Amino acid sequence: MSSGGTVLVLAGRFDPTADLVVEELNRRAVPVFRADLAGFPQELVLDATMGPSGWRGTLRSRSRTLCLEAVRSVYYRRPARPRVAEGMPGAARAVAAAEARRGFGGLLLSLPCRWLPPPGPAADAEYKPLQLRLAAEAGLSVPRTLITNDPEAAARFSGTLDGPLLYKPFSQVRGTVDGRTAAVYASLVPPGMLPHPDIGTTAHLFQEWVPKAYDVRLTAVAEKLFGAEIHTTSESGHVDWRRDYASHTYRICTPPPEVVRGVHRLLERLALPYGAFDFVVTPEGSWRFLEVNPSGQFGFVEQATGLPITAAIADYLEAEK
């Protein structure tokens, strides 16, 4: 049994990706304390005192107790925000929620241990304009991109391209429309649509369409890289593979040396030990960077290919800080 302390897993209650990591740590007999920030302050009780050697105390759930000074690492997998009692008056509830984030969240961030990923850098990395610039500086090939709320600018940009124009949301957009689940994916802009007045309603991201032989999901865990080609047989999946998982076939691949160097440089610039990278590989074999997700899922790749991504994450969390 491991004697190096407890891994604190901060994740939603129903998260299959976090489940994989917890199961692997349990298999290795590494102590795990799993919690969702949404449980604070109604289900989680914090008792911490600052002393000469730092914070000492406990975090208690209804069934378990975590000794704060025994935390060896934190797996930060998209937990919800602290959720205060709904019966409080609106203004008081807002204050209590802010205090919970800064007090409870701040205490967790102060623990002297490694995080995968660290929340601050992970939040910064969610900004696609930032990651695109840093990716280009790291030596990765980035498609020509426009960010605008000017319909005429979008039309002019489209006119400079040799091929189709692609629209992409800045973040995951999901919701319900007329009672049905809906999502916004990357999509080709039909000829003649631009300029369109709706572009003026908010920021829009447009990119040149990169002809592709296939997509690649490249998962990075510290210095380890796990590459998987994603081949799809559907038209919608060819534009954005997230639209049609049922059409996928996967194949393990090895990224070119220049991509390996660029990925490690980008992770260093973003201060991240983990990243789920998406690339397009052209028919000529050129790798084009699309984006990196600092908390991206990996289970579907591991299940399809057998790549030991969960084990690599567990290695990182189990290692001495």
Question: Which one-letter amino acid corresponds to residue 289?
Answer: F
Residue 240 is predicted with a pLDDT of: 86
| Matching fold, domains 6-116 and 144-208 | no
Q: How much is the mean pLDDT over the chain?
A: 93
258-284: pLDDT as tens digits: 999 999 999 999 999 999 999 999 999
Find the helix or strand (DSSP H, E) in which 238 lies: helix 235-239
Enter the CATH code of domain 123-129+133-140+211-318: 3.30.470.20
Task: Confirm or reject CATH 3.40.50 for domain 6-116, answering yes or no.
Answer: yes
- Looking at residue 2, its pLDDT comes to 47
Instruction: Kindly list the distances between the CA atom of residue 150 and the CA atoms of 73, 154, 166, in Å, as whole numbers in the listed order.
Output: 45, 7, 16
Q: Where are the domains of the chain?
A: 6-116, 123-129+133-140+211-318, 144-208
The token pair at 132 is: 């695109």
Residues 4-58: pLDDT tens digits?
A: 799 999 999 899 999 999 999 999 999 999 999 999 999 999 999 998 888 999 9
Q: What does the pLDDT read at residue 53? A: 87
Does the predicted TM-score (pTM) go above 0.85?
yes
Sign of CA dihedral 88, 94, 99, 101: positive
Looking at residues 82-103, what average pLDDT do you find? 90
CATH class of 144-208: alpha beta
Reported as a single tens digit per residue, the pLDDT across 113-169 is 999 999 999 999 999 999 999 999 999 999 999 999 999 999 999 999 989 999 999
Straight-line distance from the first to the last Cα atom of the chain, in angstroms, rounded to the nearest whole number:
18
Contact 11, 75 (CB under 8 A): yes
| Model confidence at 200: pLDDT above 80 | yes
Alpha helices, DSSP H only, in the chain?
16-27, 90-100, 106-109, 119-125, 128-137, 151-159, 235-239, 257-270, 299-305, 309-318
Torsion angles phi and psi, residue 250, rounded to 5: -125, 150
* 101 and 32 Cβ atoms separated by less than 8 Å: no
The predicted pLDDT at position 176 comes to 67
Find the DSSP H helices in 28-105: 90-100
pLDDT in tens, 280-301: 999 999 999 999 999 999 999 9
Strands of 112-244 (E only): list them: 114-116, 145-148, 165-168, 173-177, 180-184, 187-188, 204-208, 214-221, 224-232
